[in-house]
Amino acid sequence: MKRVIFLLVALGATWGAGAQGAQGGERLTNEEYIARWCDAAVADMERYGIPASIKLAQGMLESDNGNSRLARVANNHFGIKCKSDWRGRTLSHDDDAPGECFRSYASAEESWRDHSEFLDKGDRYAFLFELDPTDYKGWAEGLKRAGYATNPKYPQLLVKLIEDNQLHLYDTGEARKPTVAAQPEPMPAPSATPRQKPTHPNVTGKGGDGFDPDNFTIVAKPN
């Protein structure tokens, strides 16, 4: 009888650990994030003219490699705030002001697509598309100047990520996709509910257009 009880407890502990892992999972590394999104970054570079290195670096920085609360709950990998023309799902999150309105997506892929459209259609980002497509330093400085982020070190953070991980090689077609043990699981669907017209008091956002990370490790705030 004691043996049966012991086995049941052991099985319960094993199932509990597995369930917790499936829900929480391990933190994604730089290499895993790059392997997951490098093809999308190159595709967007070819379609929109945004350097693949910039797309990857912004995604890594703004989402903490997909580990941040915005990325996990809202599939928002680029920290884009609602703004007055957003009609989709939303999520409240503290940034330049408490409880700011951020865009929430049905999938991470949708977030990547919206980021490219956001830059492509934004008048104040138009000058960036006149730069050489391999000028990642110019893009990093330009994003700050155009108002994407309020952090004065934003360009340096992007450039460091690009150079430390050799992301600029994706701009010239010289990079190889990183080899990782296993591809990360797709992001879960957001829990935020859709609404037709945003009514959040900070819908236009404070400061920059995107989430403003102060360093490489973004600590997700609790719900």
| 129-157 mean pLDDT | 96
Parent domain of 110: 28-223
Span between the terminal Cα atoms of the chain, in Å: 43
What single DSSP character describes residue 121? H
Residue 80 β-bridge partners: 210
Q: Which of 136-140, 149-153, 184-188 has the lowest mean pLDDT?
A: 184-188
Residue 176 resides in a domain: yes
Residue with more model confidence, 14 or 71: 71
* 7 within some domain: no
**In-domain check, residue 16:** no
Structure tokens at 77: 């990998």
Residue with tokens 């989430």: 211
Q: Does residue 31 or residue 191 have the better pLDDT?
A: 31
Specify whether the CB–CB gap between 78 and 62 falls below 8 A: yes
Q: pTM of this prediction?
A: 0.72
Asked whether residue 2 is domain-assigned, the answer is: no
Question: Is residue 8 situated within a structural domain?
Answer: no
Please say if the pLDDT value at position 167 is more than 90. Answer: yes
Percent of the chain, pLDDT > 90?
59
The model's confidence at residue 208, banded by pLDDT at 50, 70 and 90, is low
Give the pLDDT score at 8: 37
1 within domain boundaries = no
Domain count within the chain: 1
CATH number at residue 32: 1.10.530.10
Instruction: Provide the residue count of the chain.
Output: 223
pLDDT the model gives residue 85? 79
pLDDT at 188: 46
Q: Sorting pLDDT into bands at 50, 70 and 90, what band is 211?
A: low
pLDDT digits (tens, 9 = 90+) for 96-109: 678 889 999 999 99
Task: For residue 161, tell me if it sits in a domain.
Answer: yes
Nearest-angstrom CA–CA distance, 212 and 124:
18
User: Higher-confidence residue: 7 or 101?
Assistant: 101
Question: Scanning the structure block, which residue is given the tokens 């990857």?
Answer: 56
Q: What is the pLDDT of residue 96?
A: 65
Q: Please report the pLDDT score of residue 204 as a whole number.
A: 35
More confidently predicted of 34 and 7: 34
Between CA 166 and CA 164 the distance in angstroms is 6
Task: Specify if 12 maps to a domain.
Answer: no
What are the DSSP calls for 91-120, one per residue? EEE-SSSTTEEEEE-SSHHHHHHHHHHHHH
